[in-house]
Amino acid sequence: MPRAIWTGAIGFGLVNVPVALYSAIEQKDVHFHRMTKSGHRVRNKRVDERTGREVDYDDLVSGYELSRGKYVLVEPEELDAASPEQTRTIAIEDFVDLGEIDPIYFDTTYYLAPPSRTPDSGRKAYALLREALARSERVGIGRFVMRTKQYLVAVRPVDRFLYLETLFFDDEVRSTKDLDVPPRMKHTTRELKIAEQLIDSLTTEWKPSRYEDTYRAQVLGIIKRKQHGEEIVAPEPPEQGQDVTDLMEALRASIDANKTGRSRRKNARRRAS
């Protein structure tokens, strides 16, 4: 049984839907420790940059930089004045179309489920919200507090479950106004058609299991080889691709290369079966 990281309720009008929050994502990054070449762990110390002396944890406060070198110091108990109210409720404020939310706002996904020993009335409320959201093709937008931090969230139905997506607040998303990108351009019908052919040739059904972290697998492979005393030699980096001078020719070559690659993959699957 997975462990809930938060329990409370979804505030849906005057209805409270009891829920528990579960992590949906499991990070599988390869983590390293900082070591000396003699094989000793390197520890970080808290050092006063002026005196060079190590500082006890109890002597630390938070500092907000007003300008270069000028700080306002804030004690931990002073920050409690800004702590959001712990209501244990995901308060739904609005309902919107999921398609209206730009994916850039999505941060982390969690699962919502009725807590263990939830009475039938609570389970029925969960099912009602899930099915009403699915029928209306809407998601609930609200806020809740977890570990002294307030989150903006979207609650959405997926099959038999409710998912909770934490969202970035609007002022956390950077503007694109200073990015130098080409303006809208006119392309010939032929250019657009062959570009669409390339997209069509690469279009397939979305299957997450198709995409694996090949870099992580290679890093773990190197670690295993090192464990067995093998010397690791990095290969020469591949040559950089040439600049595109003939766009049409590059598109045609891409389509031909994709056809060849797909044919090889099909033959490999046949041999494997």
Question: Each residue of 111-153: pLDDT tens digit?
Answer: 999 998 899 999 999 999 999 999 999 999 999 988 878 999 9
What pLDDT is recorded for position 103?
96
Say if residues 22 and 6 touch (Cβ distance below 8 Å): no
**Pairs from 189-195 (Cβ < 8 Å, separation ≥ 24):** 190/248, 191/247, 191/248, 191/251, 194/248, 194/251, 194/252, 194/255, 195/251
Global confidence as pTM = 0.76
Question: Each residue of 208-226: pLDDT tens digit?
Answer: 888 888 888 888 888 888 8
Q: Where are the domains of the chain?
A: 6-25+83-172, 189-234+245-272
Question: Each residue of 12-59: pLDDT tens digit?
Answer: 888 899 999 999 998 888 888 999 989 999 988 899 989 999 999 888
CATH architecture of the region 6-25+83-172: Beta Barrel (2.40)
Q: What average pLDDT does the segment 51-75 reach? A: 90
Lowest mean pLDDT among 108-122, 153-167, 209-223, 256-270: 256-270
